Amino acid sequence: MKKWMSLLILAAIVISPVAYAEDMAKSMPMGEMGKEGMMKMHQCSMDGYTSEKAGKCPRCGMDLEEKEMTADEAKAALEKSKSEQS
């Protein structure tokens, strides 16, 4: 019985950080993670429009260029782009 309890406690200790990391990842923008916590986002070089996906800028039609940003930079750029589009 003690072995089962020990295994159950050990499993909970191992699984908890993984579940926490998954929850944190869900709350971050969807861009791909690059080196050292940088996110790969796509930004228009002309007007700064930022998107999580490659494509054309909806404002000027230029190709969005890949740019690495921190999670905070990516979140701020996405919020700015969404608020300016409204």
pLDDT tens, position by position, 23-61: 555 555 555 555 567 889 999 999 999 999 999 999 999
- Total domains in the chain come to 1
For all residues of the chain together, what is the average pLDDT? 79
Catalogue the E-assigned strands of 1-86.
32-33, 39-43, 50-51, 65-69
CB-count burial class (<10 Å; 0-12, 13-18, 19+) for 31? buried
Domain range holding 26?
Answer: 2-85
